């Protein structure tokens, strides 16, 4: 039997960090195991290739939810990264940490050591910011964070229009005051996507004590006498076991980690029994507290110079490709929507709960799942509710580890989420109607000028809204009976087993989740080293 000190399951945003940091100690052996393939592909490296990866099942798990009653029975598509780098290899590359109040709230819920003051050093440690080191940013970390490769006058005008409606200009959305309107930063290095794998594993993959395996499907965690002893895997069609002398760390993300716990007999006993799985550890919170961001889309037809749609069609598309290959710049080097505003849906809100974005281009997916840029000048926008109170869950469909669980997101089930989302759509319209952005707009395409009442806007949110693809919370950290892991990310009721990924978030962060997942990986690795579980005796 293969034996390692630490086994990290999942080479995604957090897992790559954990494996890299643990393997800094040459005295321990670390295995990083990933179900997907290597992600060294043109569409992964090129930032604009994200659209090509959205439905690409080679690099994407391409999940679908169950029909969502609160959306009129719609199913919702959930892309998740499959391969080295996980979802950091297919996402929009946005580097946004969340608001300081997010982490202070985690601490207030009993999670000691997770306040903003506690986590900021880990954000800083991981980061090599293009703008250099400062009180709030790192300059020498593994993960490269950069400004947008090119700017556009329409994006500038969105910033100015947002200021006209009372949203202050910000120089840094990841620094004080953490609310305002500005250009975003991205996990892009020299025009190429910089994934968690590129940042944390690729430079150190030569370490003799670090083993990286791809194409290996983990089917369960092995448990013995109340402790994790290793994992069972399917590798090249064969089922076998790998031992962990110190700890097993699940970093599969908010969808895979709870699934693995359930398959291993950790979860709600009655639900597990229904599928013929013996409940080794009763943990009713596994798979519960599912949270995600829901967004409402907008689009406007604009004057010709106000959109770069024409630059991504016909001959111009190939010229942009040459520009990118020669310089690493241009519109193909951009991440998702370049500008955003963080604002409050209601005057009495204690923090920003809306993320409002604009991009000077529009596209649709064709029947084969490829993005096709529109053949007329247009601008797209979105309104994301950052602090939803709606909660969903995931559940086993089958004891077969290769069958995905059932996802029940329960979007817009909370009345306050509906009220605040509608307010966000109205605020986006106010920005579009404000100078100087208004001078560029010909007419509103989505949801359209005829959609004016709250009832109509809600119907738009239900029919045309979509997931922000930021699922968290399904192995929630806490000190109450429903918490799955404790504040040191140890699975409650089991020794030598932790979860370190987005699933541990008690509440979703008010921003994009990738940066927070990397921070969780940094902090989780430090906790493992500080706790220093002695190696148990393992017979080969």
Told to judge if 470 belongs to the known catalytic residues of this protein, a careful annotator would answer: yes
Residue 181's closest CA among 157, 212, 210?
157
Catalytic residue among 137, 194, 408, 470: 470
> What is the secondary structure of 396-459 as a DSSP string?
-S-S-TTS--EEE--TT-SHHHHHHHHHHHHHHHHHHTSTTGGGGEEEEEETTTT--SHHHHHH
320 confidence band (pLDDT: 50, 70, 90): very high
Chain segment 174-210, per-residue pLDDT in tens: 999 999 999 999 999 999 999 999 999 999 999 999 9
DSSP 3-state helix, strand, coil percentages of the chain (rounded to 5)? Answer: 30, 25, 45
pTM of this structure? 0.97
- DSSP E strands, 117-263: 127-129, 143-147, 180-183, 185-186, 188-189, 192-193, 210-213, 216-224, 227-235, 238-250
**Rounded distance, CA 390 to CA 477, Å?**
18
The pLDDT tens digits for 129-138 are 999 999 999 9
What's the pLDDT score for residue 537? Answer: 86
- How many C-beta atoms surround the C-beta of residue 55 within 10 A? 15
Domains, in order of start, for the chain: 2-531 (3.50.50.60)
Residue closest to 75 by CA, chosen among 537, 536, 467: 467
Q: Are 241 and 220 in contact (CB under 8 A)?
A: no
Whether 367 shows a pLDDT value over 90: the answer reads no
Q: At residue 281, does pLDDT exceed 80?
A: yes
pLDDT, tens digit, 9 for 90 and up, residues 251-264 = 999 999 999 999 99
Predicted local confidence at residue 531, as pLDDT: 95
């Amino acid at each position: 039997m293969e034996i390692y000190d630490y086994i990290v399951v999942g080479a995604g945003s957090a897992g790559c960090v954990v494996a890299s940091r643990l393997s800094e100690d040459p005295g321990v052996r670390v295995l990083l195991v990933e179900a997907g393939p290597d992600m060294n592909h043109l569409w992964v490296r090129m930032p604009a290739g994200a659209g090509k990866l959205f439905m690409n099942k080679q690099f994407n798990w391409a999940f679908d939810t169950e029909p969502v009653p609160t959306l009129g029975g719609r199913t919702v598509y959930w892309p998740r990264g499959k391969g080295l780098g996980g979802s950091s290899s297919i996402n929009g590359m946005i580097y946004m940490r969340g608001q300081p109040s997010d982490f202070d709230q985690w601490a207030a819920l009993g999670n000691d050591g997770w306040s903003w003051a506690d986590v900021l050093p880990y954000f800083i440690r991981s980061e090599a910011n293009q703008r250099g080191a400062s009180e709030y940013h790192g300059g020498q970390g593994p993960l490269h964070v950069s400004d947008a490769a090119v700017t556009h006058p329409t994006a500038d005008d969105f910033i100015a229009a947002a200021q006209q409606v009372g949203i202050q200009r910000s120089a840094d959305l990841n620094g004080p005051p953490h609310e305002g309107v500005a250009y975003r930063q991205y996990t892009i290095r020299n025009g190429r996507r910089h994934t968690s794998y590129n940042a944390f594993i690729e430079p150190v993959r030569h370490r003799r004590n670090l083993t990286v395996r791809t194409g290996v499907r983990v089917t369960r965690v092995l448990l013995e006498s109340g402790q994790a002893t290793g994992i069972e895997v399917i590798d090249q069609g064969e089922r076998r076991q790998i031992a962990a002398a110190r700890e097993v760390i699940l970093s599969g993300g908010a969808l895979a980690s709870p699934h693995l716990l359930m398959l291993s007999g950790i979860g709600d006993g009655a639900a597990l029994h229904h599928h013929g799985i013996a409940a080794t550890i009763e943990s009713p919170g596994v798979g519960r507290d599912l949270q995600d961001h829901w967004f409402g889309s907008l689009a406007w037809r604009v004057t010709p110079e106000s959109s770069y749609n024409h630059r991504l069609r016909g001959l111009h598309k190939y010229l942009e490709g040459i520009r990118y290959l020669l310089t690493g710049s241009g519109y193909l080097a951009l991440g998702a929507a370049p500008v955003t505003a963080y604002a409050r849906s209601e005057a009495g809100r204690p923090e920003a709960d809306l993320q409002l974005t604009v991009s000077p281009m529009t596209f649709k997916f064709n029947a084969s799942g490829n993005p096709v840029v529109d053949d007329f000048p247009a601008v797209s926008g979105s309104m994301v509710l950052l602090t939803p109170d709606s909660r969903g869950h995931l559940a086993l469909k089958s004891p077969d580890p290769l069958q995905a669980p059932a996802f029940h997101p329960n979007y817009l089930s909370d009345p306050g989420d509906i009220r605040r989302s509608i307010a966000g759509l109205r605020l986006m319209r106010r920005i579009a109607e404000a100078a100087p952005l208004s001078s560029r707009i010909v007419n509103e395409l989505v949801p359209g000028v005829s959609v004016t009442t709250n009832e109509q806007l809600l119907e738009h949110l239900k029919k045309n809204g979509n997931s922000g693809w930021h699922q968290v919370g399904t192995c929630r950290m806490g000190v109450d009976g429903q918490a799955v892991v404790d504040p040191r990310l140890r699975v409650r009721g089991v020794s030598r087993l932790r979860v370190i990924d987005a699933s541990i978030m008690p509440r979703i962060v008010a921003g994009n989740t990738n940066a927070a997942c990397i921070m969780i990986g940094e902090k989780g690795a430090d906790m493992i080293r500080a706790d220093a579980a002695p190696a148990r005796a393992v017979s080969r």
